[in-house]
Amino acid sequence: MTPALPRTVRAVDTDQLLDLAQEAAAHSFSQHLPVDWLREHLAAEATHYLFPTLVQRLTHRPAMPMQWRCQQLLTVSTGEQIWGLLDVLPETFDKIPETLDTASEKDIVRRIEQAVTVREWMERTAPGAGA
Q: Is residue 4 part of a domain?
A: no
Cβ atoms 40, 50 nearer than 8 A: no
pLDDT tens-digit readout, 25-40: 998 888 889 999 999 9
The predicted structure's pLDDT at residue 59:
66
Is 5 domain-assigned? no
pLDDT at res. 56 = 79
63, part of any domain: yes
Contact 41, 76 (CB under 8 A): yes
Give the total number of structural domains in the chain: 1
Of the candidates 109, 11, 35, 125, the one whose C-alpha atom is nearest the C-alpha of residue 77 is 125
Q: What is the pLDDT of residues 50-84, one digit of tens each?
A: 999 998 776 666 677 889 999 999 999 999 999 99
Provide, rounded to the nearest whole percent, the portion of the chain with pLDDT above 70: 91
pLDDT in tens, 95-122: 999 999 999 999 999 999 999 999 999 9
- Per the structure, the complete domain to which residue 26 belongs is given by 10-125
